[in-house]
Structure 1
Amino acid sequence: MLGNYLIGLREGLEASLVVTILVAYLVKSDRRHLLPRIWGGVALAILVSLGFGALLTYGPRGLTFQAQEAIGGTLSIVAVAFVTWMIFWMARAARSLSGELRGQIDRAADGGRWSLVIVAMLAVGREGLETALFLWAATQTATGAHTVSTVPAWQPITGALLGLATAVLLGYLLYRGAVKINLAKFFTWTGAFLIVVAAGVLGYGFHDLQEAGILPGLNNLAFDVSGTIDEGSWYGAVLKGVFNFSPQTTVLQATVWTVYLVVTMTFFLRGVRRRGRPQASTAVASRDKQPA
Structure 2
Amino acid sequence: MSSVFFASYLIGLRDGLEAALVVTILLTVLARSQRRDGLAPLWAGVAAAVIVAAALGAVLTYVATSLLSGVRLELFEAVTSLLAVAMVTWMIFWMRRSARTLKAELTGKLTNALGMGPVAIGALAFVAVIREGVEMVLLVFSAAQAAAETIAPLAGMLTGVGTAVLLGWLMYAAVARVNLGRLFTWTAVLLILVAAGIAKYAAHGFQIAGALPFGTNDAYDLSSVIEPTSWYAMVLTATVNLTPRATVLEISVWIAYAIGVLALFFRPDRSMPPATASVGAPAPADRSAA
TM-score (normalizing by structure 1): 0.89
Structure 1 stretch 250-259 or stretch 103-112: which is displaced more? 103-112
Distance 1:271 1:66 in 2: 43
Equivalent residue, structure 2, for 1:48: 52
SS in 2 for 1:223: strand
Structure 2 segments unaligned to the other structure (5+ residues): 279-290
What does residue 215 of structure 1 align with? 212
Taking the TM superposition and a 5 Å limit, the aligned residue runs for 1:195-274 are 195-217=192-214, 219-271=216-268
- Matching residue within 4, 10, 28 for 1:6: 10
- What's the CA shift for 1:252? 0.5
Greater Rg by CA: 1
Tell whether 2:102 aligns with 1:97: yes
Could you say what secondary structure the match of 1:264 adopts? helix
One-letter code of the match for 1:13? L
Answering whether residue 158 of structure 2 is matched by residue 161 of structure 1, we say: yes
Residue identity over aligned pairs, in percent, reads 44
Moved more, 11-20 or 219-228: 219-228
Q: Name the CA shift for 1:110/1:190 in 2 (closer, same or farther; >3 Å).
A: same
**Shift in Å at residue 243 of structure 1?**
1.5
State which drifts further: 53-62 or 174-183.
Answer: 53-62
3-state SS of paired residue (1:15): helix
| Contact kept? 1:79, 1:130, Cα under 8 Å | yes
Counting only pairs closer than 5 Å after superposition, residues 98-117 of structure 1 correspond to structure 2 as 98-117=103-122
Task: Return the offset for 1:253.
Answer: 0.5
Distance 1:114 1:2, change over 3 A: same
Give deviations 1:141-175, integer Å, cap 9, x for gaps.
2x13xxxxxxx532222221111110000000000
Contact 1:195 1:265 in 2 (8 A): yes
The Cα shift of 1:275 comes to 5.7
User: Counterparts of 1:15 and 1:65 in 2: how far apart (Å)?
Assistant: 36
User: How far, CA to CA, are the matches of 2:70 and 2:272 in structure 1?
Assistant: 46
Distance 1:275 1:257, change over 3 A: farther
**Alignment check: 8 A CA contact 2:268 2:277 kept:** no
Moved more, 227-236 or 73-82: 227-236
Q: CA deviation at 1:107?
A: 1.1
- Root-mean-square deviation (CA), in Å? 1.9
Unaligned stretches of 5+ residues in structure 1: 145-151, 282-292
- Paired residue for 1:191, among 188, 193, 204? 188
Does the Cα contact within 8 Å between 2:77 and 2:202 map onto a contact in 1?
yes
Residue 219 (structure 1) shift: 4.2
CA distance in 2, matches of 1:218, 1:95: 42
TM-score (norm 2): 0.89
User: What does residue 181 of structure 1 align with?
Assistant: 178
TM-aligned CA deviation for residue 113 of structure 1: 3.5
C-alpha displacement of 1:75: 1.1
1:12-57 Cα offsets, whole Å, 9 max, x none, are: 0000011111111101101012100100001100000000111111
Q: Which moved more, 1:270-279 or 1:42-51?
A: 270-279
What is the correspondence of 1:34-183 to structure 2 with a 5 Å cutoff? 34-60=38-64, 61-141=66-146, 143-144=147-148, 152-183=149-180
Q: Per the alignment, in what secondary structure is the counterpart of residue 209 of structure 1?
A: helix
Instruction: Give me the whole-angstrom Cα distance separating, in 2, the residues matched to 1:203 and 1:32.
Output: 48
CA separation of 1:181 and 1:276: change in aligned 2, threshold 3 A: farther
